[in-house]
Amino acid sequence: MPQYTAPLDNIRFILNDVLNAGQLSELPAFSEFSGDLAEQILEEGGKICEEVLFPLNQSGDQEGCKLSGGTDNFNHVKTPSGFIEAYQTFREGGWCGIACDPEYGGMGMPQVLNTAMKELICSSNMSFGMYPGLSYGAYEALHRFGTDELKKTYLPKIVDGTWSGTMCLTEPHCGTDLGLIKTKAVPNKDGSYAITGTKIFISAGEHDLTENIVHLVLAKLPDAPEGVKGISLFIVPKFIPKDDGTPGVRNAVNCGSIEHKMGIKASSTCVMNFDDAQGWLVGEAHKGLRAMFAMMNDARLGVAMQGLGIAEVARQNGLQYAKERLQMRSITGTKEPDKPADPIIVHPDVRRMLLISKSFTEGARGLAYWIGMELDIAHHHPDPVKRQESEDLVALMTPILKAYFTDMGTEIANLTVQIYGGHGYIAEHGVEQYVRDGRIAQIYEGANGIQALDLVGRKMGQSYGRLLRRFFHPVQQFIETHQANENMQQFIFALAKAFAKLQQSTAMIAQKGLKNPDEAGAASSDYLRQFALVAMAFMWCRIILVAQQKLKADEGDKSFYESKIKTAKFFMERVLPEADAKFKMVLAGGDTLMGMSEDEF
C-alpha cells in the first residue's frame, strides 16, 4: 500500500527561512498574517490531506466516476465512495476559500500559503483536488471581471464550497486554437444570453459534491469578429439562482458523457452540451479571452503544483521501498549482515534515482513558493512599480513551471516504478497510479510544447525583454554578491556558467527568430528546459546559502541542513549539466526539424 506524509519540515524551511514569507504581513491585505497562523493552517492542511484525502486516492482510482440517467431527463455523475463525505469535511474546514477575498467569505490568506496547500492536496489525491481547483479558477475570473451583481450572487457560494465551478473552453474540433470555437451566444430580451454548443474535456463538469455547478463558458456573439478577438465569456449555472440565492430551475446544460481515461479517474471529465442554456456575460463582449486567461494562468500554476505533488508522493514511496526491499549485497561488501540481503538503497543506481527525485522536489518547492509570493506582491503591493515587476516575473515563469514541473512529475513517477521493479508495475502497490495520474498534467491547460512556444513567442520578446530582466537581473546580482564567499564558490560557479549559456541561447533565439519564426519554435522546448534548470540552480543556491548560515549559527537540525547541501551538490554536478546539452540543442538551429518534407517522415 502507498503512503504519504505531508513534508511540513521542508515546507516550513522554504517559507520561513529561504523566502521569509512572514514579510507579506507588511502588505495591507495581509496585516493579520503571521508565522503562527501559517503554521496552524499548514498543520491542519497536512492532517486533512493525510487522513481524509489520501486514503481515498487508490480506491477512487479503482472505482472511478459513474454516469447515469435521471428521472429529470438529465444525466448525473456519481463520484467514488467517500468523496461526498471528504468534500464536506474539506468544505466545512474553509479550504475552498483559503486565498479568497474575506468580503465573500474567504480566509484572505496569501497565495504562497495556497500554493503550499495545492502541493499537499495534489500529493494526497490529485483527482479530488480537481474539484476545488477548478472552482478557484472560476472564482478568480469572476472576482476580477464579474459585475457586482454576479459577484454577489456567485462568489460567496463558490468560496464556501457550496457551489463549484468549471472552465468550458475546449470543443471537439479545437483545443489550443480557441479562435475556432463554434459555441454561440444569442442575446435574450432580459439581458441574458442563450448559449448553444458542445464542450469536451470539462473537468468537474458534472458531479454530486455540490448543490450547484457554475460553468464559465467561451462562446461567440452573432456579431463577433473572426478568431480570438471574437470570443466572449459567459457564466452558465447548472441551476439558475433564485432571488434568495438558492438553486432554482434547472438550466439547459447536460453532461453527454464522461471520458474513460488513463488516470485521474475519480475526477469527472465530461462532455457538456449547452442547448439554449441561459447565461450572463462576464466582462466585455469580445474580450472573453482576457478574463479566461485569469483562469488559465492560475490553472497553469495549479497544474505545475500537480507535477510537484505527484513527484513528492512518488519520491516518498520510492524511498520507503528502497529502505525496506532486500535484494543482493552491496557491490562494496555486505552492509547488513544480520539480514539475508541488503536493502536496495545501498545500490548506486537506486540512489541516483532517489537523488534525482529529492533534488527536484526540494528545489522545485522553493521555486514554486517564490512565484507564489510574487503573485501576492503583484496583486497587493501598494507600489504599482513593485506590482508590475512581480506580475512580469510570474508571467515569465508560469510556462516554465507548468512544463518543467509536469515533465518531472511524470519522470519521477516512472523512476519510482523502476525502483519498485516488477512490484511497481502492479496496481496493488499503488505507484503505477502516479504515472497515470501525472501524465495528463503535461497535456492539459496548454500542452507543454505550447508552454515552450508561449515562452519564446510571447514572453521572451515582450516589452523588449522586460520580463526576462525580472529573472536575469536578480540572478546576476546574486552571483555578484556571493561569488567571493568561499563556501559558495563551487555552487556559484556552476550557476554562473549555466546562466551565461542561457543568455547566449536567449540572444540566439531572439536573433534567428526575428528572421524565421520556425527557428524560435524549433528551439523552444530545449530552451524552456534550459531555463528551468538554471532557475532551479538559482533556487538551490539560495537554499544552500541559508543552510550554511544555519550550520554556522548552530541552529536547528544539523543533519537537515547538511542534507540540503549534499542534495544541492548532486543537482549541480549530475542534473544541471543537462542545461549544457540543451544549450547545444538550441544552437543546432531549426533545419534538422524543419528541413524534412512530410513524405520523408
Residues annotated as catalytic are: 445
Alpha carbon separation from 58 to 34, 53, 79 (Å, rounded): 36, 10, 14
Size of the chain in residues: 601
Dihedral over Cα of 185, 187, 191, 194: its sign: negative
**Per-residue b/e over 363-393, b at no fewer than 16 CB within 10 Å?**
bbbbbbbbbbbbbbbbbbbeeeeeeebbbbb
What CA–CA distance (Å, rounded) separates 403 from 423?
Answer: 29
The contacts of residue 532 (CB under 8 Å, 6+ apart) are 400, 401, 403, 404
Per the listing, cell 435574450 goes with 188
Structure letter (DSSP) for residue 207? -
123's grid cell? 500529493
Cα-trace Rg, the chain:
24
Q: Strands 184-187, 193-203: parallel, antiparallel or unpaired by DSSP?
A: antiparallel
What CA–CA distance (Å, rounded) separates 317 from 418?
Answer: 12
Per the listing, cell 510574487 goes with 374
DSSP 505-540: HHHHHHHHHHH-HHHHHHHHHHHHHHHHHHHHHHHH
Contact assessment for residue 136 and residue 298, using Cβ atoms and an 8 Å cutoff? yes
What CA–CA distance (Å, rounded) separates 402 from 118?
Answer: 14
Contact assessment for residue 314 and residue 3, using Cβ atoms and an 8 Å cutoff? no
Contact assessment for residue 577 and residue 536, using Cβ atoms and an 8 Å cutoff? no
The torsion angles phi and psi of 265, rounded to 5 degrees, stand at -70, -20
Dihedral over Cα of 166, 143, 34, 369: its sign: positive
Structure letter (DSSP) for residue 161? T
What CA–CA distance (Å, rounded) separates 268 from 64?
Answer: 8
The contacts of residue 361 (CB under 8 Å, 6+ apart) are 308, 311, 312, 315, 412
Dihedral over Cα of 375, 381, 383, 384: its sign: positive
Contact assessment for residue 237 and residue 214, using Cβ atoms and an 8 Å cutoff? yes
The torsion angles phi and psi of 34, rounded to 5 degrees, stand at -150, 165
Please give the helix or strand (H or E) that residue 200 lies within, else none.
strand 193-203
Please give the helix or strand (H or E) that residue 180 lies within, else none.
none
Per the listing, cell 439581458 goes with 191
